[in-house]
Amino acid sequence: MTVADPSALQPGLQPRGWLRYFSFSLDHKVIGLQYLVCGFFFYLVGGALAGVIRTELVSPIADFVSRDTYNEVLTLHGTVMIFLWIVPVVNGAFGNYLIPFYVGARDMAFPRLNAVAFWMIPPAGLLLISSYLLAGAAAQSGWTAYPPLSLTTPAAGQVVWILSVLLLGGSSIFGAVNFIATVLKLRRPGLKMMQLPMYCWAMLGTSLLVVLSTPVLAGVLILLSFDIIAHTGFFNPALGGNVVVYQHLFWFYSHPAVYIMVLPAFGLVSEILPVHARKPLFGYTTMVYSIMGIVFLGLIVWAHHMFTSGTPPWMRLFFTIATSFIAVPTGIKFFNWLATLWGGKIALNSAMLFSCGFILNFVFGGITGITLAQVPFDIHVHDTYYVVGHFHYIVYGGTVFVIFAALYHWYPKFTGRLLNEDLGRLHFLLTFIGFNLCFLPQHWLGLNGMPRRVAEYDPAFTTLNQLSSVGALIMAISTLPLLLNVVVTALRGQSAGDNPWNALTPEWLTSSPPPVENWHGEAPLVTEPYGYGHTPAESGR
Amino acid sequence: MTTTNPSDLRSQTQPDEATPSAHAEHQHHDARLFGLATFLVADGMTFAGFFAAYLTFRAVNPLPEGSTYELELVLPSINTVLLLVSSFTFHRAGRACLADRPQACQGWLAVTAGLGIAFLAGQMVEYFSLPFGLTDNLFASTFYALTGFHGLHVTLGVICIAVVTLQSRRGGAVSASSPFGLEAAELYWHFVDGIWVVLYALLYLL
């Protein structure tokens, strides 16, 4: 098997150098980095919007922006962060970069579809943001777009929002089809499913969720756009419609969406911890079953978002119990990660610090999640800042911490250079302090009754809100060492060599950065991706 | 400790993964049909969401005075038969293609496309003869949204048949040795057909 001159493979399609990152490249590694950089751009956009929110909330009156603008900003903040930063990066970026290596393939199953899926994102993102620039036209009904609110706020912005989310959902479905086909159909001969690195399982589970739930969101948004444009009455009570049906269909996607955002993070952290603790991943089989358990349970718990929507008692009971059950597979994963660290030769570098930060934050977010699943408590804190706090502990304290950990871990693979550890630790420290200062006080605010999604609040809540805003400022500052680090090391960073962490997963068994078709010869057969510090016979697997 | 066992580094049996051209041509025959099937599961979930919404509306939201769920049954039943027959004719086209009889294949494809167009025409006739419009009541809106979304799928299917027929005529792109395009269109057509059966039962018979 020979790989000739790589540039000869796709004449006209594979420009060399940095220009290829702006091309319709079919190389999964280029596409992965396109997702990453594009997602990070939107992270900065979403972060700026969060900055507007927190600045407004420094004082109890709407003095920084008007109420309508505040509603636009919070809608765009949620939409941008979820659909343009977290979902594309934790799935698209790392999934595209790593999955072909992990299954021993030279690319994804459908490289062209892969490129199409990525190139749907920048236009959708620009469309979304442009709706904000057209004065008074941005969507104002939050990322949930609940009718009848979404039917009464300015229609143009809401329609643009729907179009943009439909495009992003389509991109997500194409990506998921590709991941499922790659993991199930493109595995190197001799590689068994139960020998795959855990991230493959996480992406398989996530992609199943995307395929089963995202189309339902697409369908319900199409019906919502009918209500706005054609004046049908699906979700308009005045025309005999039913708003609760919207909520059911919306949450049928948007609860699994939380797992679409965290399951890949579970997978990534399962790759990072064994390498930097020099120990095998504890409980591989239970990890696999708990991922699949979360996928199954994740599809049948959506109505716990609707305990105050006139949900009948039997439904409340069912969804409370089902939601509480999710703590079991999630708990299994936590104890597995702790057991992986236990007695390990831990390198407390930036990747490990962010991973440990993730474990801490996510345990906290997970526990507040269990409290929210209990109907009596949920009715008390529904639509308050308690929910905002909980959610951000999951998606920021959980997933974004893992994205940063993954960046420090795989940057040497992407570029052949190491990120600076001092700047990395500073980045971690600022992020960890800023994040907890920003979102921990929100739990008290919520318990005391401060509603979410409002620009004005009772002056009694001022101190805690200001504390939260200081935290947000520290989070904004924490981005600077990261940006500085990426730019400086890209120019003159320490050379990493091919495998700076002495890792055993397949992506490290080729050069850094890897050649166009991943391997210089045959793809290696890696049956023990976590065989650290012992002989295979002792692993118990 | 691990990783590479040299004896396992034997050359791979699947040429698609091993040759550089695979990257550009991505001839993963099996994976492509599998990928399409996965996508159709997603598409089916959109319909499932619509059906769930429709059934809930029907169970919870009473229609205004003077409106009814009753629909005329003859034309849609004929349409159902047309689509079921078209699945059979598409199947014959597929078998003819694999048996390397391109002319027969093209013939069956033409019959299938004709049945599809007849279905769409019947749908239009029904639309214009119905006593209610899109915004008249919740059932009317749901009816048009569901049948319209399905009709869009049939239209796309007819276009696919036209493309596959052209590819078969020119030879090479669709033939006994590379039947993927035809198989994909056939799988899609059966899917659209199956959705119609459920839709017919829920909208017309229930």
HEC string for A474-511: HHHHHHHHHHHHHHHHHHHCCECCCCCCCCCCHHHHCC
Q: Walk me through the domains of chain B, giving residue ranges and CATH numbers.
A: 46-55+70-205 (1.20.120.80)
Question: Mean pLDDT of residues grouped by 10 in chain B (206 residues)?
Answer: 39 38 45 95 97 94 84 94 97 93 94 97 95 91 96 97 92 83 95 97 93
Alpha-carbon gap, residue B172 to A127, rounded angstroms: 41
Asked if A430 contacts A478 with a C-beta cutoff of 8 angstroms, the reply is yes
Residue A32: half-sphere exposure toward Cβ, Cα within 13 Å? 24
pLDDT at B4: 41
* pLDDT tens readout for residues A118-155: 999 999 999 999 887 775 678 999 999 999 999 998 88
Whether A374 is covered by a domain: the verdict is yes
**Residues of chain A found within 8 Å of residue B24, distances taken between Cβ atoms:** 9-10, 13, 26
Per the model's pLDDT, the better-predicted residue between A211 and A492 turns out to be A211
The answer, for A499 touching chain B at a CB cutoff of 8 Å, is no
**Residues of chain A found within 8 Å of residue B13, distances taken between Cβ atoms:** 189
Whether A212 is covered by a domain: the verdict is yes
Cα distance from B201 to chain A (closest Cα, Å)? 20
φ/ψ of residue A188, rounded to 5: -60, 140
Q: Say how many C-beta atoms besides its own lie within 10 A of residue A17's C-beta.
A: 6
Cross-chain residue pair B141–A211, CB shorter than 8 Å: no
pLDDT at B202: 95
Cα distance from B109 to chain A (closest Cα, Å)? 27
- Where is A100: in which H helix or E strand? helix A94-103
Residues 123-162 of A with CB under 8 A from B: none
Confidence of residue A2 (pLDDT cuts 50, 70, 90): very low
Instruction: Specify which residues A417 forms β-bridges with.
Output: A495
Cross-chain residue pair B45–A215, CB shorter than 8 Å: yes
Cross-chain residue pair B135–A230, CB shorter than 8 Å: yes
Q: Which residue in the set A107, A216, A524 is minimally distant from B4, CB to CB?
A: A524
* pLDDT at position A273 over 70: yes
Asked if B126 contacts B72 with a C-beta cutoff of 8 angstroms, the reply is yes
Residue B180 burial by CB count (10 A; 0-12/13-18/19+): exposed, middle or buried?
Answer: middle
Cross-chain residue pair A527–B2, CB shorter than 8 Å: yes
The answer, for A195 touching chain B at a CB cutoff of 8 Å, is no
Cross-chain residue pair B53–A13, CB shorter than 8 Å: no
Residue A538 burial by CB count (10 A; 0-12/13-18/19+): exposed, middle or buried?
Answer: exposed
Residue A204 belongs to a domain with what CATH number?
1.20.210.10
Share of chain A above pLDDT 90, in %: 86
Whether A15 is covered by a domain: the verdict is no
Cα distance from B103 to chain A (closest Cα, Å)? 31
Q: Which residue in the set A111, A182, A223 is minimally distant from B23, CB to CB?
A: A111
pLDDT at A245: 96
Cα distance from B5 to chain A (closest Cα, Å)? 7
- Where is A345: in which H helix or E strand? none
Cross-chain residue pair B24–A239, CB shorter than 8 Å: no
Whether A318 is covered by a domain: the verdict is yes
pLDDT at A434: 98
Output the CA–CA distances (angstroms, integers) from residue A100 to A7, A117, A522, B204, in the order listed.
20, 17, 13, 47
The answer, for A218 touching chain B at a CB cutoff of 8 Å, is yes
In chain A, how many domains are there? Answer: 1
Look up the domain containing A329 and give its range: 20-535
Whether A381 is covered by a domain: the verdict is yes
The answer, for B59 touching chain A at a CB cutoff of 8 Å, is no
Best of B17, B50, B57 to substitute, by most chain A Cβ atoms within 10 angstroms, is B17
pLDDT at B20: 42
Output the six-digit token pair for A58.
């420094």
**Residues of chain B found within 8 Å of residue A10, distances taken between Cβ atoms:** 23-24
Share of chain A above pLDDT 70, in %: 95
The answer, for B37 touching chain A at a CB cutoff of 8 Å, is no
Tokens 């998606």 -> residue: A395
DSSP letter at A144 equals T
The answer, for B142 touching chain A at a CB cutoff of 8 Å, is yes
Alpha-carbon gap, residue B50 to B38, rounded angstroms: 19
Q: Which residue in the set B31, B63, B64 is minimally distant from A186, CB to CB?
A: B31
Cross-chain residue pair A534–B31, CB shorter than 8 Å: no
Cα Dmax for chain A: 71
Whether A469 is covered by a domain: the verdict is yes
Q: Which residue in the set A240, A504, A535 is minimally distant from B138, CB to CB?
A: A240
Q: Which residue in the set A232, A516, A527 is minimally distant from B134, CB to CB?
A: A232
Looking at this predicted complex, what is its ipTM?
A: 0.91
Cα distance from B66 to chain A (closest Cα, Å)? 14
Least confident residue range of A246-250, A355-359, B12-16: B12-16
Confidence of residue A14 (pLDDT cuts 50, 70, 90): low
DSSP letter at A88 equals I
- Cβ-Cβ pairs closer than 8 A, A with B, add up to 181
Whether A45 is covered by a domain: the verdict is yes
* pLDDT at position A537 over 60: no
Distance of CA A207 to the CA centre of its chain: 13
Cα distance from B146 to chain A (closest Cα, Å)? 10
Amino acid at B132: F
φ/ψ of residue A417, rounded to 5: -125, 150
Cross-chain residue pair A214–B42, CB shorter than 8 Å: yes
The answer, for B27 touching chain A at a CB cutoff of 8 Å, is no
Tokens 């960073």 -> residue: A493
Per the model's pLDDT, the better-predicted residue between A271 and A21 turns out to be A271
Alpha-carbon gap, residue A87 to A80, rounded angstroms: 10
Q: Which residue in the set B9, B23, B49 is minimally distant from A216, CB to CB?
A: B49
The answer, for A77 touching chain B at a CB cutoff of 8 Å, is no
**Residues of chain B found within 8 Å of residue A278, distances taken between Cβ atoms:** none
pLDDT at B171: 72
* pLDDT at position A223 over 60: yes
Residue A453: which region, alpha, beta or left (left: phi > 0; alpha: psi -120 to 50)? Answer: left
Cα distance from B111 to chain A (closest Cα, Å)? 31
Q: Which residue in the set A26, A240, A536 is minimally distant from B61, CB to CB?
A: A240
Which spans in A309-400 are helix H?
313-325, 327-341, 350-373, 375-381, 385-394
Asked if A52 contacts A73 with a C-beta cutoff of 8 angstroms, the reply is yes
Output the CA–CA distances (angstroms, integers) from residue A449 to A52, A62, A70, A378, A457, in the order listed.
22, 19, 20, 12, 10
The answer, for B171 touching chain A at a CB cutoff of 8 Å, is no
- What sign for the dihedral angle of Cα B112, B114, B117, B122? negative
- What sign for the dihedral angle of Cα A243, A245, A246, A252? positive
The answer, for A12 touching chain B at a CB cutoff of 8 Å, is no
Output the CA–CA distances (angstroms, integers) from residue A103 to A288, A370, A526, B113, in the order listed.
16, 35, 9, 41
pLDDT at B155: 97
**Residues of chain B found within 8 Å of residue A26, distances taken between Cβ atoms:** 23-24
Whether A196 is covered by a domain: the verdict is yes
The answer, for B74 touching chain A at a CB cutoff of 8 Å, is no
